Amino acid sequence: MEERPMEEAESLGQRIKRIRNQRGMSLAKVVRDDFSRAFLNQVELGKARPSIRVLRIIAERLGTEVEYLLEGHEAGIERELALEKGRVLLAQGEPRRALLALKPALTSYDWPLGSDARVTRAQGLIAMGRRDEAAPILEGERKTIELHRDRHRLERLRAVERGEAFRIEGDAVKIHLHLGDLAARYGNTHDELEHYRAARALIEAGVKAPTGS
């Protein structure tokens, strides 16, 4: 009996084209004014390779993750879990364990997950007295954060540079809810989820939620 050839793995370009077609999106709707339709067409044909910056734009427009476009599977939840474990361990004063926990998230290209993980790693290095290793990480992430105009994350990064724990001043629940609303307005579901989770945890811990306007 003749063996059937194994199905070829889907390429990056094929994956982008498949998702774009599934979403009913034209080339123009994906590229907008950020790059040309001809370039995206070349990517889909496997004749051009987009930069990580362009991949982030494509992933955002298609409603998926860079990792999925590159690897064909979603690894977001594992990386988010690694980030949160690292943050908790760091807050508990265990930077060495935090650095180990963070490893799966450090290679993420997705915003803001990868940036958050790398800033947290820098914070852990500083806590271990390895500021020289942390400095270039923070400098690189500062550029990324400024590019996204994320004031909240920039304040967190500055606190890390000073060797301080990041603290939200004022009514923490109200601020998290406000930041969650802002994230929703700008279509940033990752941050929206993060802030609503934080608000819910604070409320469950006995911090009063704001009432009225």
Q: Tell me what pLDDT residue 37 has.
A: 93
128 and 91 assigned to the same domain? yes
Q: Tell me what pLDDT residue 9 has.
A: 77
115 and 136 assigned to the same domain? yes
Say whether pLDDT at 14 is over 60: yes
Residue 119 lies in a domain: yes
| 145 within 8 A of 151, measured Cβ to Cβ | no
pLDDT, tens digit, for every residue of 145-200? 998 888 888 999 999 999 887 766 567 777 777 777 777 766 667 677 777 777 78
Q: Tell me what pLDDT residue 3 has.
A: 41
153 and 195 assigned to the same domain? no
Say whether pLDDT at 69 is over 80: yes
Q: Tell me what pLDDT residue 1 has.
A: 37
Residue 4 lies in a domain: no
Which of these ranges, 108-117, 124-133, 200-209, has the smallest mean pLDDT?
200-209
Which of these ranges, 38-42, 130-134, 189-193, has the smallest mean pLDDT?
189-193
Residue 142 lies in a domain: yes
Domain boundary (35, 55, 71) is at: 71
Q: How many structural domains comprise the chain? A: 3
108 and 148 assigned to the same domain? yes
Residue 112 lies in a domain: yes
What's the CA gap between 93 and 82, in Å, rounded? 17
Calculate the average pLDDT of the chain: 83
In the chain, what are the helix, strand and coil shares in percent, each to the nearest 5? 70, 0, 30
CATH code: domain of residue 59: 1.10.260.40
Percent of the chain whose predicted confidence (pLDDT) is above 70: 86
98 and 126 assigned to the same domain? yes
Higher pLDDT, 207 or 38: 38
Residue 155 lies in a domain: yes
DSSP string, 37-98: HHHHHHHHTTS----HHHHHHHHHHHTS-HHHHHHSS--HHHHHHHHHHHHHHHHTT-HHHH
Domain boundary (51, 71, 91) is at: 71
176 and 125 assigned to the same domain? no
Domain boundary (44, 71, 98) is at: 71
150 and 94 assigned to the same domain? yes
**Domain enclosing residue 196, as ranges:** 172-204
180 and 125 assigned to the same domain? no
Say whether pLDDT at 203 is over 70: yes
Q: Tell me what pLDDT residue 15 has.
A: 92
Of 78, 112, 114, 118, whose CA–CA distance to 98 is shortest? 118
Residue 140 lies in a domain: yes
Q: Tell me what pLDDT residue 168 has.
A: 60
Residue 149 lies in a domain: yes
Q: Tell me what pLDDT residue 167 has.
A: 67
Say whether pLDDT at 44 is over 60: yes
Q: Tell me what pLDDT residue 5 has.
A: 42
